[in-house]
Each structure stands twice: as structure tokens, then as C-alpha cells.
Amino acid sequence: MITRNQNIANLKAGYLFPEIAKRRREFAAAHPEAKIISLGVGNTTEPILPHINKGLVEGAKKLGTVKGYSGYQDEGMAQLREKISSVFYKGKFSIDEVFISDGAKCDIGRLQTLFGAGTKIAVQDPSYPVYVDGSVLVGAAGGWEGAGYAGITYLPCTTENNFFPNLDLIPQNSLIYFCSPNNPTGAVSTRDQLASLVKAAVEKGCIIIFDAAYSEFIRNPSLPKTIYEIDGAAQCAIEVNSFSKPAGFTGVRLGWSVVPKAIKYSNGESVNADWARIAGTIFNGASNIAQAGGLAALDDNGLKEIRKLTDFYLGNAKLIRAALEKQGINCIGGDNSPYIWAHFPGRDSWEVFSQILEKCHVVTTPGAGFGPAGQSFIRFSAFGHRADVEEACRRLGSLM
């Protein structure tokens, strides 16, 4: 018999979302009359808009022609890599620094293979689960010690520090996961804050994996949409991003990572060269149909559709935040991100989750599921049909 990978055994039992789904099922079974609305998951709900959808359709059609046919392209279509560099980074990166992927989460999982089991990890707390769980899978996290993993440094983001962590806690030579606009808190780091993060990373010999999956939700023009707006970031930061949330590609699957050539390992070797190798070794590239859709999403009409779709979800976020604040609940987020982080001081997140489910028949996400500092918070997601969000807001009117 073959033994189980110990790293999988080290994953803390019950990934957050299956646990929520289980509680929802149990509630639904006990209350078959309840019309449950979910503001719980970060999954998109609205159709792909027509111009971008046409890009997907045309991409599929091309594959049926001799002239339009294409096969493997491990690192992605050159045209799309170039377009991403020009639309998001003012052309600052050459196409061999932009890698097309099947999504940001998948890239985050694969990126861990570059650094391996001996790497020290630092994460914002609370955080998107794959930063921690991916680290566990490559053996970099160590064992579970009751409140967290031994090999991971948790950087608490709380009301006290305005949801930006104390950078003095970051260990030397560590891999730092950083997400802004943040999932789950909805907080967006300012330019000065990101400048201090880059400075700390350079001083401590760290590499940042910057997750910008919600950058297209930023409306305040003074907030940075990419880490590369900060001087020095191209020496120490890898950025991952995705078409999932802004274009509704959660099911289509398309993302990208930027791995600047200036980033080096301690021995001077190139991180970029290894990443190109990973693309050909365990990936083989994103769907070329999805990439055709991505190209359509980044032309003028596509960018207008991205704006329209993100505006729609931000409209939901505004309604949810207003409904909660009317109940006297303190919230952050929802203005430049699709998540609202609601504070229930002194209470257990899972207990508040149950109260909202039982009283309002609304599914949310308990903050404690994103890390120890998420305790006493609830994440509300703005991904939903407008009528459902409006109904959920009415019901939240009798929460407290």
C-alpha cells in the first residue's frame, strides 16, 4: 500500500466553504419553507456581457478552421500577453514577463513549487484560504498548532491597525502573500502602505505574491490598482490577477501572473526562467478559447463591459453595507471591493453566521474561517442577482 502525502493530512479538516454548505443543507432540511439567499461565496452570478461573450464564441469558431486553428501555447498567446502589459501596466513588462493561466488560484498553487518546503511564509490574517492551504500542500507550513500553522507568520489585520498589518512581524527571507483589494476584508491598501510593504520586502530579502484579483473594483483614483505602481516592486513582487471577477470568467477560467525578470533567488538565479519552466512542465497553458475571450475583454468595448459588470456588483455592495449600517453594525469594504466585512464585537463568527441564517435565511461567511483575526467578523459578498440582494437587505432589517 502507498502512504498518504503527509502534507494533505496536515490540511486542517473542513475547508471553509464545504462546512458552510453543510450547515446550509442542515438548515434547509429542517426548514423546507425557507427561501435561503446566499451572500456567502465569492462566485459570480451575472451573465458574461455580449461583446466579451462574442470573443469567446469567435475563439471557438476559429478552432474549426485551418487558418485559425491553434494548439499548445504554454505561456499564453503573445497578443494577449502584450495586451495585458499595455492595459494594466503601461507596457512596462515584456511579453515574456506576463504568463497567461487558467486562473489566479491555480497560479498561486503552482507558484509555491518555485520556493518549496523550506520557505518561510507570511500571510495577512484573515486571508484567502489558498495562500495558507497551498503552503501546507508543499510542506512549507509545518504542523497545525491549534490557532495556526507553525511555519506560517500571521500578520493580523484588525480594526486597531485599520486592516493593514504591522510589517515588523515579517520574517527575513520569507514569501509574503498580500491581497488588495482584500478578500475577505474589502480593505484596499493605500499607495503609502504598499510602498512600506515593498520597502520591507526589499530590506528583508522577501518576495511578495501580490493578488490583485479585485483591482477592477477600485473606484477611488488615488488607490493603487497594481503593486507595480510602487517603485522597486518589479525587483521583489510577483503579481497574480484574473478575469474571473471583473469579466465573469469564474467558470471560463483565465488569469495571469507577472513575474519580472529582475526577481532573483538568493543564489542570483532567475525566478522568471523557472516559472516559464513550470508552465511547460505541469501546466501546458490556458484554453485558447478563454484567451480569445480575454482579448475581447481588454479592447475598448470589453473594458466598458468590465466597468459595467463591476459597477453592478459594487451597487449590490452599497445596498448591503447600508442595510448593515442601519442596524448599527460597523463595516468596512464594499466601496472599492465586492466584500463587506461586518464587525460583531465580542461574538463568535460561527454563532453570528447561525443567527443570520436562522433569522434572515441569509448565508454569509464567518470571518474566523479566514484566519484567527477574522473572529467576530462576518463577510458579506456582493455577488448575487439584484432582486436577491434587495430581498436579503430587507430581511437584514430585522437582524439585531
Cβ neighbors of 249 (< 8 A, separation 6 or more) are: 48, 242, 243, 290, 293, 294, 297
Any idea of the CA torsion for 171, 177, 183, 188, to the nearest 10 degrees? 80
211 near ligand PLP, rule: CB under 6 A = yes
Q: Decide: is 104 part of the binding site for ligand PLP (CB under 6 A).
A: yes
Binding residue for ligand PLP, selected from 255, 333, 338, 367, defined by CB under 6 A: 255
Closer residue to ligand PLP in complex, CB, 41/207: 41
Give min distance, CB of 375 to ligand PLP, in A.
20
Q: Residue of minimal CB distance from ligand PLP?
A: 103
Examine residue 128 and tell whether it contacts ligand PLP (CB under 6 A): yes
* CB 233, min distance to ligand PLP, A: 18
Span interacting with ligand PLP, options 87-95, 98-106, 291-299, 379-387, rule CB under 6 A: 98-106
> Maximum Cα–Cα distance for the chain, whole Å?
65
Check binding of 129 to ligand PLP (CB under 6 A): no
Cell of 190: 493605500
Would you count residue 124 as binding ligand PLP (CB under 6 A)?
no
Q: Is 125 in the site for ligand PLP (CB under 6 A)?
A: no
Distances (CA, A) of 400 to 123, 360, 365, 397: 33, 10, 18, 8
By CB under 6 A, tell whether 165 contacts ligand PLP. no
Task: State in angstroms the smallest separation of the CB of 124 from ligand PLP.
Answer: 11
Task: Evaluate whether 46 touches 384 at the Cβ level (below 8 Å).
Answer: no
Residue 116 buriedness (CB in 10 A; 0-12 / 13-18 / 19+)? exposed
Sort strands 377-381 and 365-366 into parallel, antiparallel or unpaired. antiparallel
Q: Please identify which residue in 42, 134, 165, 333 interacts with ligand PLP, judged by CB under 6 A.
A: 42
- Rounded Cα gap, residues 369 and 45, in angstroms: 23
Which residue in 48, 194, 208, 213 binds ligand PLP (CB under 6 A)? 213
Shortest distance, CB of residue 384 to ligand PLP, whole angstroms?
A: 15
Query: Distances in Å between the alpha carbon of 241 and those of 65, 72, 162, 210?
Result: 31, 22, 24, 9
294 binds ligand PLP (CB under 6 A): no
Q: What are phi and psi of 190, to 5 degrees?
A: -80, 170
- 3-state SS, residue 313: helix
The count of chain residues that interact with ligand PLP, using the rule CB under 6 A, is 15
Given the rule CB under 6 A, which residues bind ligand PLP?
42, 103-106, 128, 179, 183, 211, 213, 242, 244-245, 250, 255
